[in-house]
Amino acid sequence: MGAGRSRRKGKNGELEAAALLRDHGIDARRNLRETREGEGRDLICPDHPLCIQVKRRKRPAPLSALEEAREGAEEREVSLALVRADRGPWVLVGDAEELLPMVAFWYSELGPGGVKL
């Protein structure tokens, strides 16, 4: 795949991932500074302390993407990777120590399936 095609695929993946987050109530947009300067995060979520790296490839490497997010994260930010193989679903990857408390809180507040108890 040529460099231009790869950049377009990366851009489209970031736009898809941002739309997915917005669909779930998280304001997200592409980080254009990252595109230009390699700042370390693909998406900006102004209302949430998240550092998100996006990978959309034939065979994405989720742990490598998570490591990139960790390297770009500031103190008290949760590092996440959103990865998607071609024609596959989006997969969220993060540290269990950071994600499990959020899942437990969500479940205790909303119950199974996000339904208010």
Distance CA 7, CA 63 (A): 21
Class of domain 3-114: alpha beta
For every one of its 117 residues, what pLDDT tens digit does the chain have, with 9 covering 90 and above?
577 777 787 889 999 999 999 999 999 999 987 655 656 689 999 999 999 999 999 999 999 999 999 999 999 999 999 999 999 999 999 999 999 998 888 888 877 766 655
Residue-wise over 89-113: b if at least 16 C-beta within 10 A, else e? eeeebbeeeeeeeeeeeeeeeeeee
pTM of the model: 0.82
Sorted by where each begins, the domain ranges of the chain are: 3-114
